[in-house]
Chain A
């Protein structure tokens, strides 16, 4: 297994050599820097990580709606679009920097940069350009607090997580998870101009949800991460410790998930629904905790990974519906 060094992993020169070698080996390009691009528009779209983007759009939208502030629908739509493009830009910067490790992981080997369809420099320029444009647009359309939060999110994901934490510590996705947790807070700030307790709780739900989600994936993809030299928790602390930590975070997510109801921000109906969802999360994590060490198929870990996606979507959908019902004056218990 190749290990990443403590000072941020591979050096810049070594990293670029790896990308170049991946391009040469895979596509037979003698010098990738001097070829004419064959990248399709769809390859640039793929750089934006559309699936992650869809989650960002959804959670930012929930943050925006639950703020319960009247807002022009055009301003709301453009704000969400700017947040989505900003998130996509950070994805492009991530793919630029991580091309060397993406090339050796089965899940990511076909991404535009490691596959040679887009050159590293093109991905970098695309990411920087969209970062600047999305932040400026959000600042002009909504307000500069929301734009600052978006800029910080891009910086946190592309620099703090991708360049620093990811190759250095098994706590990478714990701390880096903050980047994925900011969108509802940005959506909230876009319409209120401030950071409310409600948006902090939405941040916490995603922040605490991230470790069990990614560690469930890391359990059954540990070979991939090991080959790439990424110090994920199962590779560093072992599977037993990872399973215990997954369970602990699942309990925390379940508790934080019902806080909006406890603090009077959401209805009791939401609270009951969130409690049931949280109990499901704890149950699936318990199954992972009880998973025998000899189990290499790891169905419980795969089931938890799938459930975690459902959980996040469902809990934010519940917050959204609860907020809309309250706004419409619907009789919700």
Chain B
């Protein structure tokens, strides 16, 4: 149970640990998603995607 003091919510150690775990999982999922989209783009469009005129 979180503790409220001076209108602020002070998280317990369990809540902090859980939040940290969730944040790490979201970060890993986001990085994985970016990598997937990057690789799929290269695969689908081929190396020519890097040779387009500016």
Q: Which residues of B contact A106 (CB under 8 A)?
A: none
Given A36-B9, A39-B22, A41-B21, do A75 and B15 touch, yes or no (CB 8 Å)?
Answer: no
Within 8 A of B (CB), among A187-224: none
Q: B11 within 8 Å of A by Cβ?
A: yes
Instruction: Kindly report which residue of chain A lies nearest to residue B2, judged by CB atoms.
Output: A36
B interface residues, how many (CB within 8 angstroms):
17
Give the interface residue-count category, chain A: 10 to 19
Within 8 A of A (CB), among B1-54: 1-2, 9, 11, 14-15, 18-19, 21-22, 24-25, 36, 39-40, 43-44
Report the bound CA distance from A137 to B29 in whole Å.
14
Contact B11 A78 (CB under 8 A): no
Distance in Å: Cβ of B2 to nearest Cβ of chain A: 5
Q: A38 within 8 Å of B by Cβ?
A: yes
Report the bound CA distance from A243 to B30 in whole Å.
48
Contact A78 B40 (CB under 8 A): yes
Contact B22 A41 (CB under 8 A): yes
Q: Which residues of B contact A29 (CB under 8 A)?
A: 1
Q: Which residues of B contact A241 (CB under 8 A)?
A: none
Q: Which residues of A contact B15 (CB under 8 A)?
A: 36-38
Given A35-B1, A36-B9, A36-B11, do A41 and B40 touch, yes or no (CB 8 Å)?
Answer: no
Contact A41 B11 (CB under 8 A): no
List 13 A–B pairs whose Cβ atoms lie within 8 Å, in order of A's numbering.
A35-B1, A36-B15, A37-B15, A38-B14, A38-B18, A39-B18, A40-B22, A41-B24, A41-B25, A72-B43, A74-B39, A74-B40, A74-B43
In the A-B complex, list the 8 residue pairs whose CB atoms are closest, starting with the nearest. Answer: A41-B25, A36-B2, A41-B21, A38-B18, A36-B15, A74-B43, A40-B21, A141-B40
